[in-house]
Structure 1
Amino acid sequence: MKKILITTFLVLAAASAHAADTCKSKAVDKNGKPLAGAALTSFMKKCTNDATASCDLSAKDKNGKALAGAAKTAYTKKCVSDAVGG
């Protein structure tokens, strides 16, 4: 169990390096103005769903084996949080 948690934290540390491109930073209209109201809500919901799907697929340990249980949950939660920007 310790090995899985250590691996998870190492993967999370690597994933946090990509945090600059977040849903919150992408929430702008075609004119560069920040989204608001229903448009922002819709955009954030879609972006969060996309991030969750992507994070679930990338939840693997250093040997390429899929994570499971608490390690997968922790990885996915951190990955989605980083992707959304919250």
Structure 2
Amino acid sequence: MKITVLVTLIFGLLFVSALSAAEKTLTPQQQRMTLCNQQAKAQTLTGDARKTFMSNCLKNTKTEPGQKSLTPQQQRMRECNAQATQQSLKGEDRSKFMSGCLKKPQ
């Protein structure tokens, strides 16, 4: 009798833990993968076209297809460079400004 109750309890715990594992939320990367996959299906892409679309979609969802995506660091560098040019900074002043600008939290 005790063994039967113990075995039932163990299987019950395993079942409950399996259910809770299935209810976990998706990571941002998993969400992006799901979204890109849905878009590829909607466009009925196959083969190399699908691979290219998925690759571009997963790399950066903010750019249009065919556009080169920038990393966050590259984007920050571009913004700081534009600000330094706008302020007509040269030499050491520009270097100090760029260093400070790139270290600022976004």
> Shared fold by TM > 0.5?
no
* Higher radius of gyration, 1 or 2: 2
Give TM-score, length-normalised by structure 1: 0.38
Greater RCO (Cα-Cα under 8 Å, separation 6 or more): 1
Give TM-score, length-normalised by structure 2: 0.32
